[in-house]
């Protein structure tokens, strides 16, 4: 390994003789500083806003006056999705997903108030985050550093002299790759340190083991990602006749990997696995519920049969004689049925989304950029799975909240009540405080690995594939 390190040192010295490198690193450093600052401000501001309104929503719920519990179920509550701590590093898809959902009985609402809905169309071109700079701009810097790594040696005639002196192709490729990596580390290491500082500071130095492991794997995966691009740059330079040809090839490859392939894979995935429109989705759920029965209609055949069976079981002639509130029992049954139907349709929709995302993940074997993008978002808690996890937890909370109100009605509301203003129809507001507040629980890192195993395997594939290319080309490359 001694010769490889020696070649890397020579490359390092030659790279920093070029003043353009200092200029590029300086401007990229400014971008990184801005990305870190904006990520920190966005994290603090958004979490403060969401925490404020979550507390206000809780206060409004608890301070509701005495009323019928089913009215409280329809009064509803709010759930706010907190920003993930590592979103300061990778904004991921957070800006395009909503962060607030209104929870009410008999109805599953969508998550609203995404940052994109309040922004201009420019947001679709991407946000400047630390992850974006590492994923997009650093590979471009690597290609700029590496296009002449071997092609210039060939053009100058020094390549033949190196090979005659006993330097092997494998040694030369690895040494040049290490040299480029060493230059890139002057940016990567400060980025890592800044991310650790930001992450720990926003957590008040109280980082959990799960979060620490996430950060550790982020650093490891990005390091592998940068190594992959360093090797690609040197290999393209090695097979090119001139530095100009190498530069054109590398810029074309960068456009293909970073711009073209991701767009194509998304379009193909959406085309192959198409999803129903929101109107069609909601209409299908409504039709399915109507086939079972309408819990708000006392003459509905399903609920009429339910009532008759209860009267027979308790050997009474009317619902007024039942030992519990029949209306609450009917609402509880209706909530259970409508939720089961919604979950069946929602699971089918999620299955389509998973197929679309699975197609995109498989493209990671053709494009390391897609592999790091998927892994980075997943580990940062800003991917589609994290959003779906929040929506599922919010739906579970909504269902339990509605059923808790139905249980209060079953136990405490009299069947003798004549109107909504009747005192037998009203419950003391002390019961509202008994309802637990919504608290989002992030998924564990083991779940993240389960969701993104394809992208992690893609990194292993690229490592093995490039090692194979180095071995193969070392035997076939020529000095001229």
User: What residue ranges do the domains of the chain occupy?
Assistant: 2-293+338-397+434-476
pLDDT at 205: 64
Whether residue 186 is predicted with pLDDT greater than 50 in this model: the reply is yes
The SS3 assignment for 38 reads helix
- 470 touches 235 (CB < 8 A): yes
Supply the pLDDT for residue 422. 64
Average pLDDT of span 235-254: 93
pLDDT at 126 over 60: no
Mean pLDDT of 149-159: 87
The pLDDT of residue 123:
46
pLDDT of res. 181: 94
In b/e form, how buried is each residue of 392-409, taking b as 16+ CB within 10 angstroms?
ebbbebbbebbbbbbbbb
> CA 257 to CA 136: how far, in whole Å?
10
pLDDT value at 117 more than 60: no
Q: What is the pLDDT of residues 196-215, one digit of tens each?
A: 888 777 776 667 788 889 99
Query: Residues of the chain with pLDDT > 70: what percent?
Result: 94
289 pLDDT more than 90: no
The mean per-residue pLDDT over the stretch 10-37 comes to: 86
pTM (predicted TM-score): 0.88
pLDDT the model gives residue 293: 74
For residue 457, the model assigns a pLDDT of: 94
**Both tokens of residue 182?**
């060493």
Q: How far apart are CA 223 and CA 180, in angstroms?
A: 13
Range 303-308 average pLDDT: 82
| Mean pLDDT of the region 71-86 | 88
Q: Tokens representing 78? A: 């709010």
pLDDT at residue 218 tops 90: yes
pLDDT score of 468: 93
The answer, yes or no, to whether residue 163 has pLDDT greater than 90, is no
Mean model confidence pLDDT for the chain? 86
Q: Which region among 10-19, 236-245, 445-454 has the lowest average model confidence (pLDDT)? A: 10-19
Annotate 382-448 with DSSP letters as a single string.
Answer: -SHHHHHHHHHHHHHHHHHHHHHHHHHHHHHS-TT--STTSGGG-B-GGGGGGSPPP---PPPHHHH
Q: Using one digit for the tens of pLDDT, what is the confidence trace for 44-63?
A: 888 888 889 999 999 999 99
Report whether pLDDT(296) > 80. Answer: no
Which region among 22-26, 128-132, 147-151, 390-394 has the lowest average model confidence (pLDDT)? 22-26
The span from the CA of 384 to the CA of 222, in Å, is 20
**3 state DSSP class of 177:** helix
Predicted local distance difference test score (pLDDT) of residue 120: 47
pLDDT of residue 114: 58
The confidence score (pLDDT) of residue 39 equals: 85
**What's the average model confidence in pLDDT over 391-412?**
91
Contact 146, 119 (CB under 8 A): no
Query: In this predicted model, what pLDDT tens digit does every residue of 87-102 receive, in sequence order?
Result: 889 888 887 787 889 9
The mean per-residue pLDDT over the stretch 301-312 comes to: 84
Confidence of residue 184 (pLDDT cuts 50, 70, 90): very high
* Nearest Cα residue to 476 out of 230, 173, 139, 219: 173
Q: pLDDT, tens digit, for every residue of 408-422? A: 988 888 877 665 556
122 pLDDT band, cuts 50/70/90, is very low
């Amino acid at each position: 390994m001694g010769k490889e390190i020696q070649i890397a040192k020579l490359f390092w010295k030659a790279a920093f003789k070029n003043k353009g490198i200092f200029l590029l690193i300086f401007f990229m450093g400014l971008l990184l500083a801005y990305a870190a600052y904006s990520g920190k401000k966005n994290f603090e501001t958004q979490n403060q806003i969401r925490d404020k309104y979550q507390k206000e929503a809780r206060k409004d719920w608890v301070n509701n006056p005495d009323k019928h519990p089913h009215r409280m179920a329809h009064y509803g509550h709010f759930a706010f999705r907190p920003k993930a701590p590592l979103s300061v590093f990778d904004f991921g898809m957070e800006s395009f997903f909503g962060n607030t959902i209104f929870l009410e009985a008999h109805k599953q609402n969508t998550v609203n108030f995404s940052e994109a809905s309040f922004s201009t169309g420019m947001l679709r071109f991407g946000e400047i985050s630390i992850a974006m700079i590492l994923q997009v701009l650093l590979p471009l810097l690597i290609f700029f550093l590496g296009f002449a790594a071997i092609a210039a040696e060939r053009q100058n005639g020094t390549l033949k002299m190196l090979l005659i002196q006993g330097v092997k192709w494998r040694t030369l490729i690895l040494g040049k790759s290490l040299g480029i990596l060493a230059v890139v580390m002057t940016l990567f290491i400060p980025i890592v340190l800044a991310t650790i500082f930001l992450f720990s500071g926003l957590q008040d130095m109280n980082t959990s083991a799960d979060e620490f492991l996430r950060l550790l794997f982020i650093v490891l995966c990005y390091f592998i990602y940068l190594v992959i691009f360093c090797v690609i740059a040197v290999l393209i330079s090695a097979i090119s006749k001139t530095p100009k040809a190498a530069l054109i090839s590398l810029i074309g490859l960068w456009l293909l990997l970073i711009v073209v392939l991701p767009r194509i894979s998304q379009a193909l995935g959406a085309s192959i696995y198409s999803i129903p429109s929101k109107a069609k989705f909601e209409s299908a759920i409504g039709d399915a519920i109507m086939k079972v029965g309408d819990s708000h209609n006392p003459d509905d055949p399903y609920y009429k049969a339910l009532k008759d069976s209860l009267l027979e079981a308790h050997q009474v002639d009317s619902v007024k004689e039942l030992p519990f509130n029949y209306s609450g029992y009917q609402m509880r049954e209706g909530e259970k049925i409508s939720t089961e139907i919604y979950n069946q349709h929602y699971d089918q929709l999620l299955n389509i989304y998973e197929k679309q995302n699975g197609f995109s993940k498989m493209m990671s074997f053709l494009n390391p950029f897609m592999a790091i993008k998927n892994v980075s978002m997943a580990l940062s808690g800003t991917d589609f799975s994290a959003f779906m996890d929040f929506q599922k937890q919010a739906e579970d909370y909504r269902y339990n909240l509605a059923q808790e109100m139905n249980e209060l009605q079953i136990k405490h509301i009299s069947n003798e009540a004549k109107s909504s203003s009747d005192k037998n129809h009203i419950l003391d507001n002390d019961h509202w405080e008994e309802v637990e507040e919504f608290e989002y629980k992030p998924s564990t890192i083991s779940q993240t690995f389960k969701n993104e195993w394809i992208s992690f395997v893609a990194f292993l594939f690229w490592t093995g594939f490039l090692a194979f290319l180095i071995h193969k080309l070392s035997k076939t490359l020529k000095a001229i």
